[in-house]
């Protein structure tokens, strides 16, 4: 733990010094909510319903896109070499990937909470009678995204390759999960397939909490996600190789 | 004297291609051991295994008599590593970089403050301590790159070509600082492509080629190994009107090989490098062989044995090839 903290602190600082990542998680995500809500406003009873839908689905999209934050934090060109020094030190080992995973989680989670507050304040998006539960359930989603990104780097041994593959996977899961349009509108088979996407599970749980004050999905999604995170963490431990930094 | 580091039977293959073929060597406390070898000789692989970043297929590394397997943390605590590339956070100041990297070795509080201060003095960056690394010159970054590796006072410093791409002044500063480290009792393993650096700092040299150690010893003993040869550089005047230079130079080569004691002849432009057996007085024969082919001699020099020659003799290649 003594070794871990300086590395974790440095990783968090590095992320908050990265304007591209900050922009992607706030301005880009916020802009996307505004544009999609405005464009699709006519398809909903009220424009505010469109903002409600896209604020939640794009927030889930953002949490899963945390995979790319993790790949960046893990192996991005400018920080790969200084990271090699961490590998050289007695602290090098599991602390390296664990720190990247948790730092990316903290970074994404903090920015997405800010975005959530802005959506509530400026666009009138509601998060149910218990917004705290909503924010708590965001945590495993964020961690699942960053764990996926870290796992991708450990398995594929390259930031570029991991980012490309994961961006495709996340986009596919999100389209399937109903990020941009409801899969239910496309008929029975598509709606059934969409249930395979974890994005859909989160979307459904968040909509139930925000619109119906229904917390029944909280624990199943929370626990299911925790199991997936545990599997990815074990995978990172198994596949991580220090020579990938050479 | 007992070795600080003992390497035995180190073997490594990449995709069926054997890069290290069971090499073994010892590192004596307080020495500067230079590892030389042409590109692809296995230097970087050796360094990466010594830094515990890459696993060997076979072999053992013992540090202070104990196998590093199972004692990796203690081993790494005693290591300072200067990688070939600049490994610094460019957005941070020199002091923040030093502070962070030294903290990874368990330094805290006043010990950390003292170590950072000492490293800044070592790198001659006290005045620039608060400046971002991205504003530094190449030489300053190289100095800081070394300072980050030695701030925690390691017993063994491993440097992988730490002077690549810097000006002569910074290179001299780095070489002097390595000698200061050695004088302070630190052991250094050093790889380089610059033979003059080896001449300046090495206590002992290992020559690697094709994954095997082909020579080992002090620079004096390695030079002694080819002292039975003498080199003579002859600069000739190749007339512009000569219709076929190749024919003339081929004739010169043949004439030189007929001179008693001549072992090899290489011709580059207007310079002829003649290697002959030491002790045979054949300079007049060499001169006659060249002049006899109609080539006037502009200059003639007897070249003392250098490490470059030793390297060329051992590997058949120049160090920077």
Q: Give me the tens of pLDDT residue by residue for chain B, a chain 321 residues long.
A: 688 999 999 999 998 899 999 999 999 999 999 998 888 889 999 999 999 999 999 999 999 999 999 899 999 999 999 998 899 999 999 999 999 999 999 999 999 999 999 999 999 999 999 999 999 998 899 999 999 999 999 999 999 988 888 888 888 988 999 999 999 999 999 998 888 899 899 999 999 988 999 889 998 888 877 767 777 888 888 766 555 566 777 888 888 888 888 888 888 888 888 888 766 778 888 888 888 888 888 888 887 777 777 777 777 766 655
Residues of chain B with CATH 3.30.70.100: 228-304
Evaluate whether B307 touches B222 at the Cβ level (below 8 Å).
Answer: yes
- In the numeric block, the tokens 């490994």 are attached to B87
User: Who among B53, B73, B148 is closest to A90 (CB)?
Assistant: B73
H or E stretch covering B61: strand B58-63
Q: Environment class of residue B271 by beta-carbon count within 10 Å: exposed (0-12), middle (13-18) or buried (19+)?
A: middle
CA distance B49 to chain A (A): 10
Give the span between the Cα atoms of B106 and A139, in whole angstroms. 32
How many beta-carbon pairs below 8 A join chains A and B?
63
β-bridge partners, B229: B277
How confident is the model over B189-220, as pLDDT tens digits?
A: 999 888 889 989 999 999 998 899 988 999 88
Euclidean distance between CA atoms A142 and A146, whole angstroms: 6
State the burial class of residue A85 (Cβ atoms within 10 Å of its Cβ: 0-12, 13-18, 19+).
buried
Residues of A in contact with B104 (CB under 8 A): 3, 6-7, 85-86, 89-91
Helices A218-239 and A94-122, axial angle in degrees (round to 10): 150
Of B52, B89, B105, the CB nearest to A82: B89
Any idea which fold B228-304 has? Answer: Alpha-Beta Plaits (3.30.70)
Task: State the pairing for strand pair B204-209/B32-36.
Answer: parallel
Tell me the nearest-neighbour CA distance from B52 into chain A, angstroms: 8
Tell me how crowded residue B78 is: count the other CB atoms within 10 A of its CB. 20
- Strand pairing report for B156-160 and B79-82: parallel
- List the 13-72 stretch of A: residues with Cβ below 8 A of B: 14, 17
C-alpha triplet A162, A164, A168: angle, nearest 5°: 115
Roughly how many angstroms between the first and final C-alpha of chain A, as a whole number? 25
Going from N- to C-terminal start, the domains of chain A cover: 4-245
Model pLDDT, residue B117: 96
Which regions of chain B carry the CATH code 3.40.50.300?
Answer: 5-224
- Is the distance from CB of B102 to CB of B144 less than 8 angstroms? no
Question: What is the ipTM, given to two decimal places?
Answer: 0.83
* pLDDT confidence of residue A1: 63
Contact list in B for residue A87 (CB cut-off 8 A) is 53
Task: Flag if A90 and B76 touch (Cβ within 8 Å).
Answer: yes
pTM of the model: 0.81
φ/ψ of B317, rounded to 5, equals -135, 155
- Nearest chain A Cα distance for residue B89, angstroms: 6
> Measured between alpha carbons, how far apart are the two ends of chain B, in Å?
36
Long-range contacts of B21-25 (CB under 8 A, 24+ apart): B21/B210, B21/B211, B21/B212, B22/B58, B22/B59, B22/B212, B23/B59, B23/B208, B23/B211, B23/B212, B23/B213, B24/B59, B24/B213, B25/B206, B25/B213, B25/B216
- Answer yes or no: are the C-beta atoms of A199 and A178 closer than 8 Å: yes
Whole-number Å distance between alpha carbons of B272 and B270: 7
Q: What is the pLDDT of residue B178?
A: 93
Architecture category of domain B5-224 in CATH: 3-Layer(aba) Sandwich (3.40)
Nearest by CB to residue A3, choosing from B79, B97, B104, is B104
- Can you give the pLDDT at residue B237? 80
**A246 vs B contacts (CB less than 8 Å):** 48, 53-54
Residues of A within 8 A of B88 (CB-CB) are 81-82
Per-residue pLDDT of chain A (246 residues; tens, 9 = 90+): 667 899 999 999 999 998 999 998 888 888 989 898 888 877 777 767 888 889 999 999 999 998 999 998 888 777 888 989 999 999 878 888 999 999 999 999 999 999 999 999 998 888 888 889 999 999 999 999 999 999 999 999 888 899 999 999 998 888 888 887 777 777 777 778 888 888 889 999 999 998 888 889 899 999 999 999 999 999 999 999 888 777
Which candidate from A3, A6, A82 shows the least CB-CB separation from B87? A82
């Amino acid at each position: 733990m003594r070794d871990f903290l300086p590395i974790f602190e440095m990783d968090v600082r590095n992320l908050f010094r990265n304007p591209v990542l900050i922009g992607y998680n706030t301005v880009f995500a916020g802009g996307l909510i505004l544009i999609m809500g405005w464009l699709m406003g006519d398809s909903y009873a009220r424009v505010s319903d469109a903002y409600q839908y896209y604020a939640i689905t794009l927030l889930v999209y953002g949490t899963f896109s945390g995979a790319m934050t993790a790949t960046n934090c893990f192996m991005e060109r400018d920080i790969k070499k200084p990271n090699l020094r961490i590998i050289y030190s007695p602290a090098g080992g599991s602390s390296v990937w664990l720190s990247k995973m948790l730092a990316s989680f903290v970074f994404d989670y903090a920015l997405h909470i800010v975005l959530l507050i802005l959506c509530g304040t400026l666009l009138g998006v509601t998060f149910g009678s218990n917004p705290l539960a909503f924010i708590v359930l965001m945590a495993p989603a964020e961690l699942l995204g960053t764990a996926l990104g870290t796992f991708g780097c450990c398995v594929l041994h390259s930031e570029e390759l991991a980012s490309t593959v994961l961006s495709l996977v996340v986009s596919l899961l999100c389209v399937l999960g109903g990020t941009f349009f409801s899969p239910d509108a496309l008929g029975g088979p598509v709606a059934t397939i969409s249930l395979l996407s974890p994005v859909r599970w989160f979307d459904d749980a968040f909509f139930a909490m925000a619109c119906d004050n229904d917390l029944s999905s909280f624990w199943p999604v929370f626990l299911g996600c925790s199991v997936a995170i545990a599997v990815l963490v074990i995978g990172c431990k198994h596949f991580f190789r220090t020579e990938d930094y050479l | 004297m007992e070795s600080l580091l003992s390497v035995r039977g180190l073997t490594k293959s990449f995709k069926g291609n054997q890069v290290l073929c069971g090499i073994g060597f010892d590192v004596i406390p307080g020495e500067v051991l230079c590892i030389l070898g042409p590109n692809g000789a296995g230097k970087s692989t050796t360094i990466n295994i010594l830094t515990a970043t890459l696993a060997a297929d076979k072999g053992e590394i013992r540090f202070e008599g104990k196998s590093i397997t199972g004692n990796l943390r203690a081993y790494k605590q005693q290591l300072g590593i200067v990688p070939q590339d600049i490994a610094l956070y460019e957005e941070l100041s020199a002091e923040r970089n030093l502070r962070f990297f030294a903290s990874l070795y368990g330094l805290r509080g006043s010990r950390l403050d003292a170590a950072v201060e000492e490293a800044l003095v070592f790198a001659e960056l006290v005045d620039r301590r608060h400046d971002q690394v991205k504003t530094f010159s190449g030489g300053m970054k190289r100095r800081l790159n070394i300072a980050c590796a030695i701030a925690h006072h390691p017993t063994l410093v491993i440097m992988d070509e730490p002077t690549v791409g810097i000006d002569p002044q910074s290179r001299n500063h780095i070489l002097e600082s390595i000698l200061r480290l050695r004088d302070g009792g630190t052991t250094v393993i050093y790889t380089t492509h610059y033979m003059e650096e080896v001449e300046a700092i090495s206590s002992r040299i290992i020559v690697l080629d094709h994954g095997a150690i082909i020579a080992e010893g002090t620079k004096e003993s390695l030079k002694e190994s080819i002292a039975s040869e003498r080199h003579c550089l002859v600069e000739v005047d190749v007339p512009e009107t000569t219709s076929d230079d190749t024919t003339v130079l081929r004739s010169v080569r043949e004439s030189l090989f007929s001179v008693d004691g001549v072992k090899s002849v290489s011709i580059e432009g207007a310079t002829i490098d003649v290697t002959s057996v030491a002790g045979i007085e054949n300079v007049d024969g060499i001169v006659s062989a060249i002049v006899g082919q109609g080539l006037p001699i502009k200059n003639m020099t007897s070249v003392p044995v250098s490490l470059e020659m030793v390297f060329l003799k051992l590997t058949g290649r120049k160090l920077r090839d």
